[in-house]
Amino acid sequence: MWASGVGGGGGGSAGFDSKLRATLSGDQTIADDTWTLVDLDETDYDGLSELDAANSRIVLADDGWYAFNYSIALEDLGGGAEGYCHVFVNGTIVAGGTQVLGNLSVVDFRVNGTFDIQLSAGDLVTFKVFHTQGADRTLYHTQSGGTIVCMKRFA
């Protein structure tokens, strides 16, 4: 149920201003078989300046329920490789997705996810990717729809 009249929380913000759309400012190299932090360093909008671009993380201003929607675009994995994207809050995995490609060779690889979670002011949200392709791969800035993370406080 959507809340109305949500006031400021721990950060003293103005209700539903906690929202952002973060992207990469350029392509990012992802090493094989290594969890790699997604370099979220650019925003299309950021209501409360919650993106800490220097550390590629979201620092929440308020307590509340948050909706996240992400789309991660990675260069072709092919040949039975696996790719993962997991969402971490304060260093602990809270959500994630995987795609096993079998013997397919595709133009690109995408993990999409949507989830709602209750969080607190000051929580640190990060996104990490991992693949088993056998060589470095590119996380796309714009190609194939790019890599995008959206967040909105809704209660």
Phi, psi of 146 (to 5 degrees): 75, -175
pLDDT at 98: 55
pLDDT at 52: 97
Q: 19-153: which CATH number, 3.40.50.1100, 2.60.120.10, 2.60.120.40, 2.40.10.10?
A: 2.60.120.40
Least confident of 18-22, 103-107, 149-153: 103-107
Q: How far, in Å, CA of 36 to CA of 33, rounded?
A: 9
Q: How far, in Å, CA of 102 to CA of 85, rounded?
A: 18
Query: In the chain, what are the domain boundaries?
Result: 19-153
Mean of the pLDDT values across residues 17-38?
A: 93
Handedness of CA 16, 114, 84, 63 (dihedral sign): positive
Q: Which tens digit of pLDDT belongs to each residue from 79-88?
A: 677 778 888 9
pLDDT at 78 over 90: no
| Tokens representing residue 2 in the block | 């959507």
Residue type, 78: G
